[in-house]
Structure 1
Amino acid sequence: MIMGQRGSEAKTALFLSLIHGCILLRADSGADYTDSATEMSSRRFKAEFLQEWQGSPDAPYFDPTTPRNITGLVGHPVRLLCRVKNLQNRTVSWVRHRDIHLLTVGRYTYTSDQRFEAQHKPRSEEWALRIRSPQRRDSGQYECQISTTPPIGHAVYLNIVEPETTISSGAELFIQTGSTINLTCTVRHTPEPPSSITWTHGEQIINFDSARGGISLVTEKGLKSTSRLLVQRARANDAGLYTCGPNNAPPASTRVHVLSGEHPAAMQQGCATSSLQISVSIISMFLTLYVTIPYLNFQFVT
């Protein structure tokens, strides 16, 4: 099938080339034709046989409703699609923009990477590029092209993401004794909502029916799933590493510090405030040295 299409395209190109050649030959051989006449004939050829032909009612074109942005998951098959109207005897190809690599031509795959596959059902307007087990490096722009003269294309941007788990408090949380430990875990980019989300304290799974009491959990599942852990009336033995573990995404952890003292505001702000204070102190020290060292050198010289 593809050989027939290529043969038809070659015949058409040859026919157009012969017409163009005849026009130029006549322009060169006739004494009544000048260089300007030759240039005019060339322009007329391009306008009539190329540009106007491409914009004619029976020329092939892309269905504009086809999605241009596709998000896929690492390791899960993804499918890029374009719909071509009035294709006639033209050929549809897929090209990767990153390296201008030809991936498919018609129903045939033109790459040694076996993860890529051309998909098309006979008499269908859909031409698809399927990627088995996509990786992050496969993200980028792809183009579905029709072999018109010149070729026309439909760009599709592919974004490959990995499942991720985050805890809103960050790496550490500082609270005051008697306060509530409030941890929210968010799970994104999973093929489906996690069937379970387990919380652990240290190496122990948190038991919501334990004798300690005051522990509750609220979970919402969807495209973005969340699990909120509340531990009321925190005390010293509630400190430690808390881990949120979805069954279909990597775990995330945060370390909780339960402190007592006379500076609750500083404890609530945690490491972020401490780091800021340290940074300010270092900057102040360097500014002091910058101002005083020239003076000390002057005194030493005199």
Structure 2
Amino acid sequence: MVTSEVSRWKRNKKEVGTHYLFNLVYIFTIVECNWRSEVSYKFYWNESLDKMLECIGVSWIRHRDIHLLTVGRYTYTSDQRFEAVHSPHAEDWMLRIKYPQRKDSGIYECQISTTPPIGHQIFLKIVEPKSEIHGGPELFVDNGSTINLTCIVEFAAEIPTTVQWSHENKPINFDSPRGGISLVTIKGPTTSSRLLIQKASPSDSGIYACDSFVATPAVIRVHILNGEHPAAMHHGHASIPLCPPIVSALIVPLTLIFKNH
């Protein structure tokens, strides 16, 4: 009876996939989690299968150090961030990780204690909240054209409620007499915020930053060009010689040796 029930589980199992924020996407066996993480594996149960699993046990094992983390609803680790979660007659046998850290990345296995054991492995990848402005770290814009800055925020534990832009450490005033400044923000698991500044002038040059308050702010330096080439904006960089001085000094003697032979 155990064999037939386990076979039914194997036919009905689904692979755990990428975990973005608050939902699970079932593709492959790679799991990406943010800093507020929960890893779970779903069993499709019926009453007899649920009773069987309660009796023989479902375990979570961490492969990095071959550590038994949970068995059934009980936790077997001193790390209080790990917790076994299962409700009677529920289809989830979960391993919950609170305040996940980079070191928690790796392979975890959900295992049924049969003989031989039956298990399924998943790869957990802990990712940090990230914000980035496209085109950085420097952007060159012609005088009189439009400055187009797009900030992307992803892997955050929660969707940002706002994205604030600043120029030279001062919040951008969209109602200033200058005019021509607009902002379009689309919120979601990946949030994008686009800042448009029309008719750019030298006063618009400098450092711009976008802050979502859920990730480290992203910055970019904008240069306004008045007909000059972007390369001309970089000062103080001496040209690198084709051969370092020591190597150049060795070339002549070696050349003479080869000529003498």
TM-score category by the smaller chain? 0.7 to 0.9
Q: CA separation in 2, counterparts of 1:224 and 1:108?
A: 36
Name the counterpart of 1:231: 197
Percent identity, please: 46
Q: 2:116 aligns with which of 150, 173, 185?
A: 150
Q: CA separation in 1, counterparts of 2:167 and 2:89?
A: 59
Kept after mapping to 2: 8 A contact 1:185/1:226 = yes
Q: Kindly state the Cα deviation for residue 66 of structure 1 after the two structures are TM-superposed.
A: 4.6
Q: 2:32 aligns with which of 71, 83, 103?
A: 71
Secondary structure of 1:250 counterpart: coil
**What does residue range 73-222 of structure 1 map to in structure 2 within 5 Å?**
73-74=34-35, 76-83=36-43, 86=49, 88=52, 89-222=55-188
Q: CA separation in 2, counterparts of 1:298 and 1:93?
A: 71
Question: What amino acid is the match of 2:132?
Answer: T
Name the counterpart of 1:40: none
Measured against aligned partners, the alpha-carbon deviations of 1:268-299 in whole angstroms (never above 9, x if no partner) come to: x788xx69xx79x53x6218986785336767
Secondary structure of 2:203 counterpart: helix
Q: Kindly state the Cα deviation for residue 127 of structure 1 after the two structures are TM-superposed.
A: 1.6
TM-score (norm 2): 0.78
Gaps (5+ residues) in structure 1? 1-52
Kept after mapping to 2: 8 A contact 1:66/1:83 = no
Question: What amino acid is the match of 1:286?
Answer: C
Q: CA separation in 1, counterparts of 2:89 and 2:189?
A: 36
Question: What amino acid is the match of 2:41?
Answer: L
Kept after mapping to 1: 8 A contact 2:13/2:44 = no
Q: Kindly state the Cα deviation for residue 115 of structure 1 after the two structures are TM-superposed.
A: 0.7
| 1:104 to 1:140, Cα distance in 2 relative to 1, 3 A | same
Gaps (5+ residues) in structure 2? 17-28
Q: Kindly state the Cα deviation for residue 121 of structure 1 after the two structures are TM-superposed.
A: 1.9
Larger % of helix: which?
1
Question: What amino acid is the match of 2:60?
Answer: W
2:243 is equivalent to residue 295 of structure 1? no
Name the counterpart of 1:57: 4
2:232 is equivalent to residue 285 of structure 1? no
Kept after mapping to 2: 8 A contact 1:173/1:270 = no
| 1:222 to 1:125, Cα distance in 2 relative to 1, 3 A | closer
Secondary structure of 1:237 counterpart: helix
Q: CA separation in 2, counterparts of 1:294 and 1:244?
A: 52
Q: CA separation in 2, counterparts of 1:260 and 1:195?
A: 38
| 1:130 to 1:299, Cα distance in 2 relative to 1, 3 A | closer
| 1:108 to 1:270, Cα distance in 2 relative to 1, 3 A | farther
Kept after mapping to 2: 8 A contact 1:200/1:206 = yes
Q: CA separation in 1, counterparts of 2:131 and 2:69?
A: 34
Q: CA separation in 2, counterparts of 1:210 and 1:59?
A: 68
Q: CA separation in 2, counterparts of 1:227 and 1:124?
A: 40
What is the aligned residue count? 238
Q: CA separation in 2, counterparts of 1:186 and 1:298?
A: 56
| 1:247 to 1:292, Cα distance in 2 relative to 1, 3 A | closer
Question: What amino acid is the match of 1:201?
Answer: H
Return the index of the structure with the highest Cα Rg. Answer: 1
| 1:287 to 1:194, Cα distance in 2 relative to 1, 3 A | same
Kept after mapping to 2: 8 A contact 1:175/1:257 = yes
| 1:213 to 1:79, Cα distance in 2 relative to 1, 3 A | same
TM-score (norm 1): 0.68
2:231 is equivalent to residue 255 of structure 1? no
